[in-house]
A and B are shown apart, each in its own frame.
With several copies, the nearest count.
Chain A
Amino acid sequence: MTYREALRLALREELTRDERVFLMGEEVGVFEGAYKVSAGLLAEFGPDRVRDTPISEEGFVGAGVGAAMLGERPVVEIMTLNFLLIAMDQVINHAAKVRAMFGGEVGCPIVIRTPNGAGNQLTAQHSQSFEGWFAGTPGLKVLAPANPADAKGLLKAAIRDDDPVLVVENLPIYKEKGEVPLDPDYLTPIGRAAVARPGRDVTLVSHSFATVRALEVAQRLSQSHGVEAEVVDLRSLRPLDVETVAQSVVKTNRAVCVEEGWPSYGVSAELAARIQSACFDDLDAPVERVGMAEVPLPYSKKLELAAMPGQERIEAAVLHTLGIA
């Protein structure tokens, strides 16, 4: 099943399981989702459960916050992460604050799901990865599945969670295929990273699409250089499973953090900070970071490819960390 189908299955199962769950967002109904994640759900559950909205991110994200405060389980789709900037105040200054600011008297079990990522020449305004900003906000939880099984398991865990959760999906991997547990109660635990590939020479830490790339690179390095890279797929950015990352680095003594976003002040900065602190005596080389070149992403395919953290750049970073070449 594809990553897209896994998300759809998660939505269908939760819509079926819990009357309080409903979807809301631009084009989720009649159009069946800008990226077809919600295809068929309007027909199956009707317009009260699958609600098309005007283009009003601030309005309907906030509406999700309010509905959640009353105990509903809104699952709000934002067409791409870039547009969440418009609802920033509702997410950071409202959803994230509800429970603590009101002394624990009310909760806000909203789920916001949206794809991040670049590629396909979508240019500067449509190719960004801001998930680190949300992961840095107490009160929020941030998940980022990298494969179909986790897409289903994490989205379901998010919907059942009692706190506001941002589920960051990824455009390029909507079509990726993989095994997906059909058990309707299968959940991926929040706050648990996964060792996506065991290895002994170096640890690649990543999330979302960067994990897919990291796995490809690990494969190549095994063949080309006999280097066995361990790939830790974070899956959850807040809570962040530093424990699993540290265990791996203690074993490999080297780490390369890969992300699709801009590394400076990004997710990989936090990872490097945590690793150097948790594994200070175990590191044989500085923690390396690879991500998007720090420019607003240009349209030209040639420039876009060069700017993105592709296999070549990741591989070069790993070899550099290993002192090879």
Chain B
Amino acid sequence: MPRTLSRSKPAAAKSKPAAKPAAVEPVSAEALATRLAQFEQMCLIRDFEEEAERQYKAARIGGYCHLSSGQEAITVGAVDSMREQDVLVTGYRCHGFALARGVPPQAVMAELFGRRDGCAHGRGGSMHLLDASRGFFGGWGIVAGQLPVATGLALGLVRRRRTAAVLCELGDGAVNMGAWHESLNLASLWQLPIVYLVVNNEYGMGTSVSRASAEPEAFRRAAAFRMHGERVDGDDLDAVLEAAGRLLSIARSERRPAVLEALTYRYRGHSVADAGLAYRTREEIATRRAHDPIDRVAARLAEMGAEEAELTQARERSAQAVAEAVSFAEQSPEPELAALAEGVYAKGSVAQFERMRPGSPFGERELVFDAGLGR
């Protein structure tokens, strides 16, 4: 698809042109190391997703399980453009984002296994990963429901006078929800530091973008809020890094929000339960796999002068990390029944609920009140 720029935008005008392909620049050792690390992150995500699918089919992971194989360049490119103080919010297809943000694979796999050492202690599962210590505020399951929340996090950053921005991931299907409209209007009206990353993988479940959106070029919708919008090839790590880096820094320093639409493709079905063939052909998938984002980075690394061995080692380390994640998850204990109600309310709410016991539904006393409600 063509990389067109939204016409509605001061920001685009001002912003410096996209960095030229790094190849023509002299490659610093540092640049090479960074790119290698990103390559390894992408491999880690791919390996992790493939392992998750195996574990799901082995019934050790339940619920909905949405994989992001094929979308790694967006994930790594966008998250690596974030600073430590920045905030990340995503939808339910969030394994890769969690890993890219540095959440240990063990904590992610343990969450998918529903174990106590999971990043949400087995309460959230695949769709609801988070790590507040790394500014990752979930992992949400209602399409577009994360947009108002992310917009509010950006408002929170402003109120706290932090020079930081929010990166909010959403899918191409989410841009038709009212929550998108209300969120972007607020973000632009209030000049909030937030970048809405539209991961356009061409389908929302079985519905192609053109069957769902009257304006299939989602980034153009930013203009309805006098907001900057642009589109990148989401399978080109350099392009994503450049665009996400630029838009996040504009958000941070000038408090100007933006929409970044990244084009990619989802290799697997919508979730592990979906074969993903009812609405697209095997050929289509094969064609896309032929331009695999990980292979493309590998090729760039070769150009940059990386040794084949370095790539192999990176691949091995990621495979290793995933294997360790699995054994960690296996060993992590299940949550205690006696803590079923812990975390439903803030600690210290016990007294508030004490007088609610009489006439409780059957079992409520033991299961909820005695199991830590408000504790």
Contact, chains A and B (beta carbon distance below 8 A): yes
A residues near B, CB below 8 A? Answer: 20, 22, 26-27, 30-32, 34, 48, 52-56, 58-72, 74, 82-83, 86, 89-90, 93-94, 99-107, 109, 120-126, 138-139, 141, 161-163, 189-193, 236, 238-244, 246, 256, 263-264, 268, 273-278, 286, 288-291, 293-296, 298-303, 306-307, 313, 316-317, 320
Question: Measured between alpha carbons, how far is A291 from B278 in the docked complex, in Å?
Answer: 38
Given A62-B179, A65-B149, A121-B63: A307 touches B340 (CB 8 Å cut-off): yes
Given A56-B178, A122-B64, A295-B368: A99 touches B148 (CB 8 Å cut-off): no
Chain B positions 125 through 146: 1 when the CB is less than 8 Å from some CB of chain A, otherwise 0: 1011011100001111111110
Question: Measured between alpha carbons, how far is A228 from B186 in the docked complex, in Å?
Answer: 54
Q: Are A302 and B343 in contact (CB under 8 A)?
A: no
**Shortest distance from the beta carbon of B37 to any chain A beta carbon, whole Å:** 27
Q: Are B346 and A107 in contact (CB under 8 A)?
A: yes
Question: Measured between alpha carbons, how far is A251 from B131 in the docked complex, in Å?
Answer: 52
Does B17 interact with chain A (Cβ within 8 Å)?
Answer: no
> Which residues of A are found within 8 Å of B342, using beta-carbon distances?
104
Partner of A163, one of B120, B182, B185, B345: B345
> Which residues of B are found within 8 Å of A48, using beta-carbon distances?
159
Q: Are B207 and A103 in contact (CB under 8 A)?
A: no
**Shortest distance from the beta carbon of A5 to any chain B beta carbon, whole Å:** 19
**Shortest distance from the beta carbon of B124 to any chain A beta carbon, whole Å:** 5
Question: Measured between alpha carbons, how far is A58 from B155 in the docked complex, in Å?
Answer: 15
Does B314 interact with chain A (Cβ within 8 Å)?
Answer: no
Given A30-B278, A65-B149, A101-B128: A239 touches B355 (CB 8 Å cut-off): yes
The 6 A-B residue pairs with the shortest CB-CB distance in the complex, in nearest-first order? A62-B148, A66-B152, A59-B182, A104-B343, A299-B125, A31-B206
Q: How many residues of B sit at the interface, in one of the four size bands?
A: 35 or more
> Which residues of A are found within 8 Å of B140, using beta-carbon distances?
94, 125
Q: Are A103 and B359 in contact (CB under 8 A)?
A: no
Does B156 interact with chain A (Cβ within 8 Å)?
Answer: yes
Question: Measured between alpha carbons, how far is A302 from B336 in the docked complex, in Å?
Answer: 9
Q: Are A313 and B142 in contact (CB under 8 A)?
A: no
> Which residues of B are found within 8 Å of A300, using beta-carbon distances?
114-115, 122-123, 125, 334-335
Q: Are A290 and B359 in contact (CB under 8 A)?
A: no
Q: Are B128 and A61 in contact (CB under 8 A)?
A: no
Chain A residue nearest in CB terms to B138: A102
Given A55-B204, A62-B179, A192-B355: A307 touches B367 (CB 8 Å cut-off): yes
Q: Are B212 and A54 in contact (CB under 8 A)?
A: yes
B contact face: mostly helix, strand, loop, or mixed? loop
B residues near A, CB below 8 A? Answer: 62-64, 87, 89, 111, 114-115, 118-125, 127-128, 130-132, 137-145, 147-157, 159-160, 173-174, 176-179, 182-183, 185-186, 189, 204-207, 211-213, 278-279, 334-335, 337, 340-346, 348-349, 351-364, 367-368, 373
Partner of B362, one of A82, A125, A239, A317: A317
> Which residues of B are found within 8 Å of A299, using beta-carbon distances?
62-63, 111, 114, 120, 122-125, 128
Q: Are A263 and B153 in contact (CB under 8 A)?
A: no
A–B Cβ pairs within 8 angstroms, 14 of them: A54-B211, A55-B173, A55-B204, A65-B148, A83-B142, A123-B128, A263-B361, A291-B361, A294-B361, A294-B368, A299-B111, A299-B120, A302-B337, A307-B340
Given A31-B279, A103-B118: A54 touches B355 (CB 8 Å cut-off): no
Chain A residue nearest in CB terms to B182: A59
Chain A residue nearest in CB terms to B203: A31
> Which residues of A are found within 8 Å of B361, using beta-carbon distances?
263-264, 268, 289-291, 294
Q: Are A60 and B186 in contact (CB under 8 A)?
A: yes
Question: Measured between alpha carbons, how far is A53 from B178 in the docked complex, in Å?
Answer: 14
Q: Are A70 and B355 in contact (CB under 8 A)?
A: no
Question: Measured between alpha carbons, how far is A288 from B356 in the docked complex, in Å?
Answer: 16
Which residue, of A31, A32, A48, has the highest number of chain B Cβ atoms within 10 A?
A31
> Which residues of B are found within 8 Å of A125, using beta-carbon distances?
127-128, 140-142, 145
Chain B residue nearest in CB terms to A109: B346
Question: Measured between alpha carbons, how far is A278 from B359 in the docked complex, in Å?
Answer: 5
Question: Measured between alpha carbons, how far is A307 from B122 in the docked complex, in Å?
Answer: 14
Question: Measured between alpha carbons, how far is A217 from B351 in the docked complex, in Å?
Answer: 33
Q: Are A90 and B148 in contact (CB under 8 A)?
A: yes
Question: Measured between alpha carbons, how far is A300 from B213 in the docked complex, in Å?
Answer: 36
Partner of B186, one of A56, A71, A289: A56
Partner of B151, one of A66, A126, A191, A244: A66
Q: Are B121 and A103 in contact (CB under 8 A)?
A: yes
> Which residues of B are found within 8 Å of A268, using beta-carbon distances?
361
